[in-house]
Structure 1
Amino acid sequence: MITRDLAPVLRDSLARYPIVTITGSRQAGKTTLARAEVDKPYANLEAPDIRAFAQEDPRGFLGQYPQGAILDEVQQVPELLSYLQVDVDALAGSKQHLGRWVLTGSHQPQLRDALAQSLAGRTALLQLMPLSLGELAHWQRPYGLDELLVSGCYPRLHDAGIPAHQFHADYVGTYLERDVRHILRVADLGLFQRFLGFFAGRHGQPMNYAQLAADVGIDQTTAKAWCGVLEASHVAMPLRPWFANIGKRLAKSPKWYLCDSGLAAHLIGVTSSRHLATHSHRGHLFEGLMVSEASKVIAHAGSPARCHVFSTPREEVDLLVEANGKTLAIEIKSGATVASDWFKNLKVLTDIPQMGVSARMVVYGGNVEQRRSQGHVCPWWLFPLRLSEWLQAHDALPIAWSASSLEQRLRASYQPGV
């Protein structure tokens, strides 16, 4: 079992809050992380008998754990959070107050609303995503780029050696049955699965909700709501456009990405890296992998940084990382050979002083790092290291970390010939 990058943030949060809530998609590793880092009793609220006990007698259920516990899949019993509020408030100021409860769950609407109503100010809210490139490198085996695009980064797939096509087929089936039907109350699973396929076909592309709705055979309101379902269950994430006006960022349509490239590849019918080299979606899958990697670095470090896309009718910059008034502007190119015109759109940002661009980077599918006058050329497998260094330089990486250790792992796992 590997140590997750979020572990130091979890330990720090336990020393500061009475409750720590870990959210994330199914199979991201939330339970494994909690049980590895927290020495407390464990209760899985997906088990019917345990869930029934918590629903029918919440005081008695919590009373079993005088020193607190790990409560897994807490979205199954959102009403339990009101009783947790009473529990921790009664102990405020005592030695038993901090680090008392650890909750895990998919951050679905019921859980989000219950957390906001009952536990505001009482819980740290952490997000665990699938494995980052740095975490995956702990396995110390060589990974090719196309192999990674197809396999994705869910821990169990790599830990148990499950074939990617089998894992993702099982994942979609479990997601549809457990989350979409029972928790999110989507009645027509066949129609939702059709929606998933068309959504995946737009992975990393500007979203036209009207066209998506027409392709699936639903209305536009439902299409937007179902995109929200994917976001709420951490299966997909929006990348909102950058505007100096914060309100415009929220009003404009985002680009959408599935959080895992392997799941995206599966949903568009790519099941082998052999089929990927000439596939029309390879560039979008690569872009999604890098956007997801940036999100993982930020989320797992507890960083305040934010990600956006810059888009005008004529130019687009794939990824902007904002932290403390400064911006790292990033173009993402799947090609393995650097082209001089890759920096063209990055130059446009010079004319936007309020963006505060402090560095320009091209992340690409090759292996040679270059420091050019136009910007930094970064191989895909070094991106988490260079992004972490930029965040640290701008006081946006609150955890202690070892650059040399991360670099060694990345080079050993991804760089050809090492």
Structure 2
Amino acid sequence: MYNRHVFKAVISALDEQAAVVLLGPRQIGKTTLALDVAGQRRSVYLDLEREADRRILVEPDLYLDELAGNLVILDEVQQMPDLFRNLRGQIDMRRRKGYRTGQFLLLGSASNVLLNQSAESLAGRVRYIEMPPLLLDEVGENRLNDLWLRGGFPDSFQAAHNRASLSWREDFIRTYLERDIPALGPRIPATTLRRFWTMLAHTQGGLLNASALAEGLGISGQTVGRYLDLLVDLMLVRRLTPWHENFGKRLIKSPKVYVRDSGLVHALLGLGSLEALLGHPVVGGSWEGFCIETLIAAAPSGTEAFFYRTSAGAELDLVLRLPDGSTWAIEIKRTTSPKVSRGFHLAIEDIGADRKLLVYAGDREVPGENGLRAMPLGRTLAALREA
């Protein structure tokens, strides 16, 4: 068991809002965290993937009326989309009885499905929190390479050895392709979607080239967009958008695409050991994606994430605009030499960055020119936690 930072965020949200939606892919630890929350207050837990629990809610108001004042935890709530209309009435009824906060904790693994289902029905009554995989400051910096290789899904990370971890991730991918995605409705051949997912892993952190993907799969560009939207909605792929505020520059407009969990990148490519990873061409993109996911997860709630690239060569791997209005420019390199390119300096001038950071593979914090600071990943993560 690890102390998850998101636990405090969920507790705080329940103390301030009537309903909280906790989003994250399957097996990320949502249920474990929800049961930990349940241990701190009067609560009822229902798993809506179980037929018996769904039958309890055939007449939801009859059941939920008796639970006013209790926290009701509904797992995989997207399985019963019509329930959101009842939840709105339940929240309003409970408010009249004096129960204004901490009424419902809703868990789901398909972000857009849940957002669309809940946005209208629960407007002004709900807060959304995304649960990330295990993070470096949760498992300890001495486990950095294990976390990078195996990824942050708890069962994968905690496996007895690398071979068992890889087997778990291969089973996870197969289950998503053969069971979970078809259950959401899309009729996509599992072999085609796996090839698409693997192609994204091969080009980890590259600019989206829909025409090349379409040609490689023998499908249309529109179908590529549909496949990508699906994996983004399932929180398995990140589409990192370009910074778009320098209208006088010729900016790259295509998004960059990352398979979000580094362990899944390595499983899709058959990389089961650190040695195999370090000798593979994807090593740089994998490290970049791993760092980007870690830093976005550690940033304050409400932070916006971008990358920056111009046709003239100015480039930043990650730009974070924090809720306080400050802009952090971050370059990521898997090197022990704390040096950045001329393109980095051009880019920070273009965007007017307030903080300039290089995440590198060294173990010390090193000051550089023009306010640049080179930091190990763990120290950069800590700086974001303090922001």
* CA shift for structure 1 position 176: 1.5
Of the structure 1 ranges 377-386 and 95-104, higher mean CA displacement relative to structure 2 is found in: 377-386
Shift of 1:184: 4.1
| d(CA) in 1 for partners of 2:71, 2:364 | 50
Q: Which one-letter code corresponds to 2:168 in the other structure?
A: F
Shift of 1:343: 4.1
TM norm structure 1: 0.84
Q: Which residue matches 2:359?
A: 363
**Equivalent residue, structure 2, for 1:372:** 368
- Mapping of 1:273-352 within 5 angstroms? 273-298=274-299, 301=300, 303-313=301-311, 314-323=313-322, 324-338=324-338, 340=339, 342-352=340-350
For the residue of structure 2 that corresponds to 1:335, the secondary structure is: coil
The 2-side partners of 1:28 and 1:53 are apart by 26
CA 321–214 in structure 1, closer or farther in 2 if over 3 Å, else same: same
CA contact 2:266–2:277 (8 Å) conserved in 1: no
Q: Verify the 8 A CA contact 1:10 1:20 in the aligned structure 2.
A: yes
What stretches of structure 2 of length at least 5 have no aligned partner? Answer: none
Q: Distance in 1 between matches of 2:101 and 2:216?
A: 51
Contact 1:17–1:98 under 8 Å retained in 2:
yes
CA, structure 1 residues 134+276, in 2 after alignment: closer, same or farther (shift >3 Å)?
Answer: same
Q: Using a 3 Å threshold, how does the CA distance of structure 1 residues 350 and 29 change in structure 2: closer, same or farther? A: closer
In structure 2, distance between residues paired with 1:182 and 1:136: 33
d(CA) in 2 for partners of 1:64 and 1:201?
A: 53
Tell me: CA distance 1:337–1:32, structure 2 relative to 1, closer, same or farther (3 Å): same
Quote the offset at 1:93 in angstroms: 4.6
1:144 offset after TM fit, Å? Answer: 4.8
CA contact (8 A) 1:108 1:233 kept: yes
Q: 1:165 to 1:159 in 2, by over 3 A?
A: closer
Q: CA deviation at 1:232?
A: 0.6
Q: Once the two structures are superposed, what CA deviation does each residue of 1:168-204 show, in whole Å capped at 9, x if it has no partner?
A: 1111022113331111423311211111111211211
Deviation for aligned residue 1:4: 1.0
Instruction: Measure, in 1, the Cα distance between the counterparts of 2:180 and 2:150.
Output: 22
**Counterpart among 81, 84, 89 of residue 81 in structure 1:** 84
Paired residue type of 1:80: L
In 2, Cα distance between equivalents of 1:350 and 1:4: 33
Offset at 1:285?
0.3
Number of aligned residues: 375
Give 1:6-155 correspondences, 5 Å limit.
6-38=6-38, 39=41, 40-54=43-57, 56-63=58-65, 65-66=67-68, 67-137=70-140, 142-145=142-145, 147-155=146-154
- Over 3 Å counting, the alpha-carbon distance change for 1:110 and 1:277 in structure 2 is closer
Aligned-residue offset at 1:160 = 4.9
2:358 alignment partner, SS class = strand
Query: 1:32-89, CA deviations, whole angstroms, 9 ceiling, x for partnerless residues?
Result: 11111233111101112222443x3333343463334111110111111110111111
SS in 2 for 1:143: helix
Report the Cα distance in structure 2 between the residues aligned to 1:151 and 1:199, rounded to whole angstroms. 18
Q: Secondary structure at the match of 1:15?
A: helix
Amino acid at match of 1:333: K
Aligned to 1:203, what secondary structure does the other structure show?
coil
The Cα of 1:159 is off from its aligned counterpart by 3.7
What is the Cα deviation at residue 245 of structure 1? 6.7
Matches of residues 183-262 of structure 1 in structure 2 within 5 Å? Answer: 183-244=184-245, 252-262=253-263
In structure 2, C-alpha distance between the alignment counterparts of 1:148 and 1:14, rounded to whole Å: 30
Give 1:345's aligned amino acid.
G
How many angstroms apart in 2 are the aligned matches of 1:129 and 1:161?
22
Counterpart CA distance in 2 for 1:385 and 1:370 is: 16
Gaps of at least 5 residues in structure 1 are 393-418
User: TM-score of the superposition, structure 2-length normalised?
Assistant: 0.91
Counterpart CA distance in 1 for 2:285 and 2:256 is 11
Q: Is the Cα–Cα contact under 8 Å of residues 149 and 265 in structure 1 kept in the other structure? A: no
CA RMSD of aligned residues (A): 2.1
Contact 2:14/2:102, CA 8 A, preserved across alignment: yes
Which residue type is aligned with residue 229 of structure 2? G
Question: Looking at both structures, which has the greater relative contact order when contacts are Cα pairs under 8 Å and sequence separation is at least 6?
Answer: 1
Amino acid at match of 1:89: D
Q: Which amino acid aligns with 2:256?
A: K
Contact 1:198 / 1:216 at 8 angstroms: preserved in 2?
no
Q: Which amino acid aligns with 1:281?
A: V
CA contact (8 A) 2:151 2:157 kept: no
Tell me if the contact between 1:150 and 1:164 (Cα under 8 Å) persists in the aligned partners: no
